Amino acid sequence: MASKQPVDPTTLSYAEASAELDEIVAFFEQADVDVDELVAQLERAGALVDELDRRLKETKLQVDELAPLLTQSDEEAIADIDPETGEVLDG
């Protein structure tokens, strides 16, 4: 793995951050690992994991907020259907 100036994890897409984390894992699996590079890669992996975790938590909060709205919309849509005929009723 070539040393390069690390990009701020917050500027990466989720897929890019995940792919970089995969590269770091592959680096760790090498038999001959430079200790200094190992420390740098561990620090980078920690930053990537923190950012990915933050995004997952943020997404979960958004889903938790939106899920009741979707359920409410479904219930309202069902309420506008005549149960006997299946016809859509005028609201």
What is the pLDDT tens value at each position of the chain, 91 positions in all? 455 678 999 999 999 999 999 999 999 898 888 899 999 999 999 999 999 999 999 999 988 888 877 776 666 656 666 667 767 776 5
Is residue 34 domain-resident? yes
Number of domains in the chain: 1
Distances (CA, A) of 44 to 3, 67, 77: 12, 34, 48
Nearest CA among 7, 46, 8, 9 for reference residue 24: 46
Please give the sequence-ordered ranges of beta strands (E in DSSP) within 6-90, or none if there are none. Answer: none
Does any domain span residue 19? yes
Q: Decide if 91 is inside a domain.
A: no
Domain membership flag for residue 84: no
* Domain boundaries, position 29: 9-79
From CA 8, how far away is CA 13, in angstroms rounded? 11
Q: Is 4 within 8 Å of 37 (Cβ atoms)?
A: no
Q: pTM for the whole thing?
A: 0.68
